[in-house]
Amino acid sequence: MERNNISREFKPFNELFSESLKSNWERPALSNLGGDTIHYKDLAARIAQLHIFFASCGLKRGDKVAICAKNQANWGVAFLATLTYGAVAVPILHEFKPANIRHLISHSEASILFVGDVIWEKMTEVDTGSVTVVSLVDFSVLQGNNSAASETAGNMAALFAERYPDGFGKNDVNYKPDEPEDLALINYTSGTSGFSKGVMIPYRALVSNIFFAKEVEPQMDNRSKVVAMLPSAHMYGMMFEFLFEIMIGAEVFFLRRLPSPKVLLSAMAEVKPSVIIAVPMIIEKIYKQILIPFISRGYMRLLLNLPVIDQVVQQNIQQKLIHSFGGNFNEVIIGGAPFNKEAESFLKRIKFPMTIGYGMTECAPIITYVPHDKTRLYSCGKPVAGMEVKIDSADPFNIPGEILVKGVNVCLGYYKNEAATEAAFRDGWFCTGDMGVIDADGYLYIKGRCKSMILGPSGQNIYPEEIENILNNMPYVVESLVIEDNDKLVALIFPDFEQVEEAGLDQRQLLEKLNENMKAANLELPQYCKISSVEVFPEEFEKTPKRSIKRYLYQRNTN
């Protein structure tokens, strides 16, 4: 099937990487924030050592190598060693449960598994079969029946010295070139539908995304620094917090802790990154926990409503926020999930250098983007070079339809799942499963997921994400989920228990406050979108690593 008829300049991934290694030989490459640093020459040497190990395992070009761990420098070493060897990387999100990890190892047919120590501790009772399990702490063999591999891992220093008796230098970096359609990695989705599919990403998609990043962030070079706070196994973090940076000789600092506002801002102050890649929840938490309390003070509300003075105040808030993020970045790029409209509107008002892009694993990941000075409120930008977007709607400017994409970034399909692959493509266009509209200038506006859309009583399309956006801005609400229950809309609310405690509310009073919120929200909604009731949900909703709620877990039977 012809799925991609758009050509774009292609340079082999391994050639780009080897050029970066040689050009930045003495510079720092991968750092564990607050820990050790691997320089580019050390990265090249560790990759060479792993190639010796791969050979002892009998690994061949095209064989699969799984990697499952929290963010850390050696994750990057293992990933790059796999691709430069000609094998296929299988990054597995560390949030997956042990049994699920075992299933993905089996489904991908991986013969080697690199694993973090915390993950391995949880997998001790899970049968990993004949897979050779390697520690990402020291690259020792934790489990496996291959005695040659275990012996090689235990004598790596001697074997490496024997292979390179004159020392390891730039001239020893020599990787076989890859072809555009060659399979580079299998990335298992973690979407809200509950079924993980192995997305087959070719080298052309990786290279195209790298070229895109070079074009839109031309100020970044080998002096740049980036904090990797998103899961490296997720395509968004992998591409724009790791691969792009390595290709330009920048330094990547892996944040190994949960990126709470306090932890994140501390890391930003230390590193002073050149660009910030984030998912909405991270920025929304900073907005709700830091900015809202500040701008809600009586005198601040007054100042923000005074002509002329409000401009000065807005600029002051903007500068303080920029400084809190390290003060050295060009822009904050947000993607991965819908962004809170109130937060977006305020940040746009104070001219904070922020832009919202749109992408998905199947496009490795970028689809639309514009720089922060070209953004339009509530839009996620325009199609990037090499990509086309169209809306499957009779009136794509006004009536939402499914977003279809075509271009060099699009995946090869789903691994060992021809039915899903065939269903995902329509006349050469990839069906994203997202609903949206597009304006006359090509700016895309996303309305919600096709599968989460609710059909109203008279056939109206209801997008629960838009209702949730209103609720999430209201007092005592951390997050919400709107579901259909017997043809009525019910709002599940996870309350801000810290705020509830400060206000001295008991359970009955909290429910009264949330019902007041519901009535206020209903005033902003059409009749067919009104919420019938609210329910207090006692814990945070389960999410994917990019912080989207797993909606399928909370659906109810409807008449």
Which H, E and C letters describe 20-76, residue by residue? HHHHCCCCEEEEECCCCEEEHHHHHHHHHHHHHHHHHCCCCCCCEEEEECCCCHHHH
- 441 occurs within a structural domain: yes
CB 294 within 8 A of CB 240: no
For residues 437 and 495, membership in a common domain is answered with no
For residues 233 and 375, membership in a common domain is answered with yes
The DSSP letter of residue 262 is H
For residues 441 and 458, membership in a common domain is answered with no
For residues 401 and 355, membership in a common domain is answered with yes
CB 254 within 8 A of CB 237: no
pLDDT of residue 432: 94
- 337 occurs within a structural domain: yes
Q: How far is CA 194 from the centre of its chain?
A: 17
* Domain end residue (candidates: 178, 213, 247): 178
Query: Which secondary-structure segment (H or E) carries 138?
Result: none
CB 554 within 8 A of CB 541: yes
For residues 225 and 263, membership in a common domain is answered with yes
Residue 301: closest CA among 502, 291, 520:
291
CA distance linking residue 76 with residue 252, whole number of Å: 10
For residues 165 and 226, membership in a common domain is answered with no
Per-residue pLDDT of the chain (559 residues; tens, 9 = 90+): 344 444 456 799 999 999 999 999 999 999 999 899 999 999 999 999 999 999 999 999 999 999 999 999 999 999 999 999 999 999 998 888 888 899 899 999 999 999 999 999 988 767 777 899 999 999 999 998 888 999 999 999 999 999 999 999 999 999 988 999 999 999 998 654 456 799 999 999 999 999 999 999 999 999 999 999 999 999 999 999 999 999 999 999 999 888 888 899 999 999 999 999 998 888 988 888 888 877 777 666 676 676 666 788 888 889 989 999 999 999 999 987 778 888 899 999 999 999 999 999 999 999 999 999 999 999 999 999 999 999 999 999 999 999 999 999 999 999 999 999 999 999 999 999 999 999 999 999 998 877 777 867 656 778 888 898 889 888 899 999 999 888 889 999 999 998 899 999 999 999 999 999 999 999 988 888 899 999 999 899 987 766 678 888 888 765 4
- 197 occurs within a structural domain: no
For residues 169 and 234, membership in a common domain is answered with no
Residue 405: closest CA among 457, 443, 465, 360:
360
> What range defines the domain where residue 524 resides?
454-554
For residues 439 and 484, membership in a common domain is answered with no
For residues 440 and 459, membership in a common domain is answered with no
Is the dihedral angle over the CA atoms 235, 241, 242, 244 positive or is it negative?
Answer: positive
For residues 318 and 347, membership in a common domain is answered with yes
Query: Which secondary-structure segment (H or E) carries 532?
Result: none
- Residue 309 half-sphere exposure toward CB, CA atoms < 13 A: 8
Number of domains into which the chain is organized: 3
Crossing angle of helices 73-85 and 13-23, rounded to 10°: 130
- 7 occurs within a structural domain: no
Q: For the domain that residue 487 is a member of, what is the CATH number?
A: 3.30.300.30
Q: For the domain that residue 278 is a member of, what is the CATH number?
A: 3.40.50.12780
Q: How many helices (H) and strands (E) does the chain have?
A: 20, 28
For residues 170 and 223, membership in a common domain is answered with no
Q: How many of the other CB atoms lie within 10 Å of CB of 168?
A: 17
Angle at 66 between CA 64 and CA 69, to 5 degrees: 165
- 20 occurs within a structural domain: no
* Domain end residue (candidates: 144, 178, 212): 178
Q: Are strands 429-438 and 401-407 parallel, antiparallel or unpaired?
A: antiparallel
- 26 occurs within a structural domain: no
* Domain end residue (candidates: 124, 145, 178): 178
pLDDT of residue 553: 85
What are the structure tokens assigned to 135, written together? 């520690």
CA distance linking residue 362 with residue 408, whole number of Å: 11
- 27 occurs within a structural domain: no
Q: For the domain that residue 57 is a member of, what is the CATH number?
A: 3.40.50.980
- 397 occurs within a structural domain: yes
pLDDT of residue 192: 47
Print the SS3 string covering 296-362: CCHHHHHHCCCCCHHHHHHHHHHHHHHHHCCCCCCCEEECCCCCCHHHHHHHHHCCCCEEECEECHH
pLDDT of residue 2: 41
What are the structure tokens assigned to 377, written together? 């409120």
For residues 415 and 489, membership in a common domain is answered with no
CB 262 within 8 A of CB 268: no
